[in-house]
């Protein structure tokens, strides 16, 4: 499969995970091909998405799973039960392929390991830092942790990434 032209800084490795972060000031639509590509190319069978939102990334993951005839591989979490994405996926009659969870990502009680975890929820530095601490260990060895708008100065969360990937678990002072 040909790698998509744009988008993430791919392939940074924490030793256990591959980490991708999307470009500054980007729209999710610029990355859907990449999300699909990573999921499919690396044969990700279990995916956890934080932030269903409008369902664009949800659909990219679902399509990559359906293309491999995997119909129970995606969990999508949003704090808002009325987020548009659920309706979008229902309209496409793909809702059976995703398990919806309404929860705050930091309060969610979830176990297990995933081939791919996509973080696209709150975006604030403190929350994202905590999300990284919570969810990075749930990525299978060799799996993917993907963060949207991660290097966007408007969200100021690049520091969280650096703290985690280069110095072990985040240190709020660094």
The interface region with ligand SAM, picked from 18-26, 50-58, 63-71, 160-168 by CB under 6 A, is: 50-58
The interface region with ligand SAM, picked from 67-75, 102-110, 135-143, 159-167 by CB under 6 A, is: 102-110
The interface region with ligand SAM, picked from 13-21, 48-56, 62-70, 135-143 by CB under 6 A, is: 48-56
Binding of ligand SAM by 53 (CB under 6 A)? yes
Binding of ligand SAM by 133 (CB under 6 A)? no
Q: Which long-range contacts (CB under 8 A, 24 or more apart) does 61-70 make?
A: 61/35, 61/36, 61/116, 61/118, 62/89, 62/94, 62/97, 62/98, 63/36, 64/35, 64/36, 64/39, 64/40, 65/39, 65/97, 66/94, 66/97, 67/40, 68/40, 68/43, 70/45, 70/97
Least spacing, CB of residue 172 vs ligand SAM, in Å: 18
- Binding residues for ligand SAM, rule: CB under 6 A, are 28, 50-57, 77-80, 83, 85, 104-106, 120-122, 127
């Amino acid at each position: 499969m040909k790698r998509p032209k744009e988008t993430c800084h791919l392939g940074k490795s924490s030793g256990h995970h591959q980490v991708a972060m999307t470009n500054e000031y980007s729209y999710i639509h610029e990355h859907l091909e990449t999300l699909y590509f990573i999921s499919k190319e690396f044969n990700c069978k279990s995916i956890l998405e934080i932030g269903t939102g409008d369902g664009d990334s949800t659909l990219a993951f679902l399509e990559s799973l359906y293309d491999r005839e995997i119909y129970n591989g995606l969990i999508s979490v949003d704090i808002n039960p009325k987020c548009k994405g659920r309706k979008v996926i229902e309209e496409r009659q793909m809702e059976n392929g995703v398990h919806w969870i309404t929860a705050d990502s930091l309060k969610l009680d979830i176990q297990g390991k995933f081939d791919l975890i996509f973080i696209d929820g709150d975006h604030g530095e403190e929350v994202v830092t905590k999300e990284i601490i919570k969810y990075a260990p749930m990525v299978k060895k060799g799996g993917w942790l993907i963060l949207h708008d991660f290097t966007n100065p408007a969200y100021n969360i690049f520091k969280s990434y650096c703290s985690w990937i280069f110095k072990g678990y985040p240190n709020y002072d660094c």
